[in-house]
A and B are shown apart, each in its own frame.
Chain A
Amino acid sequence: MFKTIVVREILEYLKSARFALGLIITVVLIAASTLINVEDYVLRHQDFLDAKKELQAESRRVNILRGPQVLSILVRGKDKDLGELVRVWVGDVPSELSGTMDVRKPKFPSLARLSAVDFAFLVRVVMSLMVIFLAYGAVAEEKAGGTLKLVLANALPRDKLLLGKLVSGLAVVLGALAVASLLAVIFLMLHPAVSLSGSDILRIAGMMAVSALYLSVFYALGLFVSVKVDRPAVALMVLLQAWVFLVVLYPNLSVTLAERLVPLPSEQTVAAEKAAVEDRFRKDIQEVNEKLGQATSTAEDRLRFNKVWSQNAEEIHKVDSEFSRLQTRQMKSAELISSLSPASLYDQVMNRLARTDIREYELFMEGAVRLWRSYVERLNLRYTDPDAYKKSQLPDFGYASDSTAQTIAAVWPQALVLFLFSLVFFTLAYTGFLKKDLR
């Protein structure tokens, strides 16, 4: 009997115009966005390689370039918003990425503007809406149409009927997700300029699993509202309002709340603190600058120049670090508050899996600071032990991204909360349906 329910429900969905329309829209948008984002990634990657070559030619300068993440094709995250170049010099500890590389003209300029629309966005917004349009009538339409009474006039337990609706609804939704995902992955794998590692494939699988969990939340929510509200149109209105709140309003509200709860010092305050540091070093800096400008400057003068400037840089870096610490605290608070929104949780997990979140940026910057310290140390060596300096080499820039296992360990709590959301909504739907008045 359970199979009978599931098969009928699935067929009902597949025959419905709203499913066909939703699937077509999703598939077209995912195909288009992936094509555009692949093109965008390939250009950015080429730009990165070209810039790297150009910078290598400037042998006297040390610069660090940040290349695009391959999975930013699917989840853009913050990958494109942060800078891509750090110019390393003794007087400035890298604390934020500065400057950008030359922007190459995209082949399709008008389409490139759409590159903010990625797979994650389409699942978060378009597919979750599609799920709502599928789920709102699951019970309400049957109640309004009278088929619910006809079905339950048989020896069919209510829980079995609702479970059948859940299973079939999820099968249809996840089937649509699988089609869309497969399309995106095929585009990635077939493109000659895109190379995916084993870890990338694992991460993509993780993204699909989290997308499935995310969409399940909306199906369970839809089922719950459909059980509680008898009129399908009202159920749809309630769900659309809930969707706007959960996907659009609440994530923004949580940022505003976090800003109130964890206030950051103003730009003027930070600037004043930095100015105070510079004031402390101003006399020394003027002195070493003057000495270095003289024709009689010695190695000792150069060493002192490096030391004064690097000490000044370290002190300013402390101010920056304190600001960054508070910023991170504010961001974590916003993440915590926004955890009540499945859309926020989904974003957090997807960005982390795609290595396009702030964590990747922090790891990159830690690597940049390490390189700066090695650079200063080696520069000092030039004036204290020239032979050792000649024998030494500046280490290559590098930083270790989180392994897939580390990422999974970091994101499972959010994934668990998404699962719990589904569970809670389904439990509410279940208890509501068992007591439902079928008059």
Chain B
Amino acid sequence: MATSQPILKADDLSMRYEDGVLALDHLNLDVRPGEVYCLLGANGAGKTTTINLFLNFIPPTTGTCFINGIDVTKDPLEAKKYVAFVSENVMLYGNFTARQNLDFFAKLGGKTALAKNDYYQVMRRVSLQEKAFDQRVKNFSKGMRQKLGISIAIIKDAPAILLDEPTSGLDPKAATEFLEIMAELKNEGKAILMSTHDIFRAKEIGDRVGIMKEGRLVMERTRQELQYEDLVKIYIDYMKSEPLAIS
């Protein structure tokens, strides 16, 4: 497991929405270079809220998110230079081809001097079919769009990657391919924070796995610890347990 300074760090992070719902309750977590952190939890547990806070899509009620040591709330634009994002449903610009989408997001990510071949290379790396490179994205399957989504993250070459349930809805083959790419990125030293419902794949790829319930991180285990524990049982036990007292 990586031991250097964390790239992603949530420090006592809380989020209460305007309607009074406490979506996140004093969350503390960090992800270091070369580490995959999987956040497990039911719908509404606070996984997506955590990612939204890291991306400054919403301001935290209390606490701080750091990306590469930069306070996201104070300097969101600088912080976002060091993070790439893959959503649950990568919906790209349907009227544009895969390469055009990649080109657009690469430029937004600050990569302005890439050649056509660079894009092709990245798309090959994620096993997108060659014939799809210059096809309009509107006819792509979900698996193809997710691959393109991870291409966008790869081409940005940011030290941190946030993934919001990226394998949900993918067929097993596509999900396995997706996780293989994650493993490669991890080996390249990326800090990866991934929210997921998929306990088996979380155990397979995660260096650390956290279980969230009602906005709280109720459990955290390392890969080593999970060798001796049944993650499925732990997860189900937590989900079945009494609701937490509202703070």
Cβ of A434 to closest chain B Cβ, rounded Å: 12
User: Which residues of the other chain, A, contact B48 by a CB distance below 8 angstroms?
Assistant: 439
Cβ of B104 and Cβ of A154 under 8 Å apart?
Answer: no
- Using a Cβ cutoff of 8 Å, how many contacts connect chains A and B? 71
Per the 8 Å Cβ criterion, residues 94-125 of B in contact with A are: 95-96, 104-105, 107-110
Task: Let me know if B90 is at the binding interface, CB within 8 A.
Answer: yes
Residue from B49, B52, B90 within 8 A of A150 (CB atoms): B90
Task: Let me know if A153 is at the binding interface, CB within 8 A.
Answer: yes
State A153–B162 Cα separation when bound (angstroms).
Answer: 10
Per the 8 Å Cβ criterion, residues 144-166 of A in contact with B are: 145-147, 149-157
Cβ of B92 and Cβ of A147 under 8 Å apart?
Answer: yes
Cβ of A156 and Cβ of B89 under 8 Å apart?
Answer: no
Task: Let me know if B127 is at the binding interface, CB within 8 A.
Answer: no
Task: Let me know if B80 is at the binding interface, CB within 8 A.
Answer: yes
Task: Let me know if A267 is at the binding interface, CB within 8 A.
Answer: no
22 pairs of residues in contact across A and B, judged by CB atoms under 8 Å: A1-B107, A4-B104, A8-B96, A12-B93, A12-B95, A15-B95, A145-B91, A146-B90, A146-B91, A147-B92, A149-B55, A149-B57, A149-B87, A150-B85, A150-B87, A150-B105, A150-B152, A153-B80, A155-B77, A155-B78, A155-B110, A156-B108
User: Which residues of the other chain, A, contact B144 by a CB distance below 8 angstroms?
Assistant: none
Cβ of B107 and Cβ of A152 under 8 Å apart?
Answer: no
Cβ of B77 and Cβ of A437 under 8 Å apart?
Answer: no
Binary per-residue interface labels of chain A (1-34) against chain B in the complex, 1 for a CB within 8 Å, 0 otherwise:
1001000100110011000000000000000000
User: Which residues of the other chain, B, contact A154 by a CB distance below 8 angstroms?
Assistant: 80, 105, 108-110, 156
Tell me whether chain B's interface is mostly helix, strand or loop, or mixed: mixed
Which residue among A8, A153, A156 has the maximum number of chain B CB atoms within 10 Å of its CB?
Answer: A153
Cβ of A138 to closest chain B Cβ, rounded Å: 13
User: Which residues of the other chain, B, contact A151 by a CB distance below 8 angstroms?
Assistant: 105, 108
Cβ of B15 to closest chain A Cβ, rounded Å: 10
Binary per-residue interface labels of chain A (397-439) against chain B in the complex, 1 for a CB within 8 Å, 0 otherwise:
0000000000000000000000000000000000000000111
Chain B positions within 8 Å of A, measured between CB atoms, are 48-49, 52, 55, 57-58, 77-78, 80-81, 83-85, 87, 89-93, 95-96, 104-105, 107-110, 149, 152, 156, 162
Cβ of B90 and Cβ of A152 under 8 Å apart?
Answer: no
- Given A146-B90, A150-B85, A150-B87: A4 touches B55 (CB 8 Å cut-off): no
Cβ of A311 to closest chain B Cβ, rounded Å: 76
User: Which residues of the other chain, B, contact A4 by a CB distance below 8 angstroms?
Assistant: 104, 107-108
Cβ of B43 to closest chain A Cβ, rounded Å: 14
User: Which residues of the other chain, A, contact B105 by a CB distance below 8 angstroms?
Assistant: 150-151, 154
State A8–B78 Cα separation when bound (angstroms).
Answer: 23
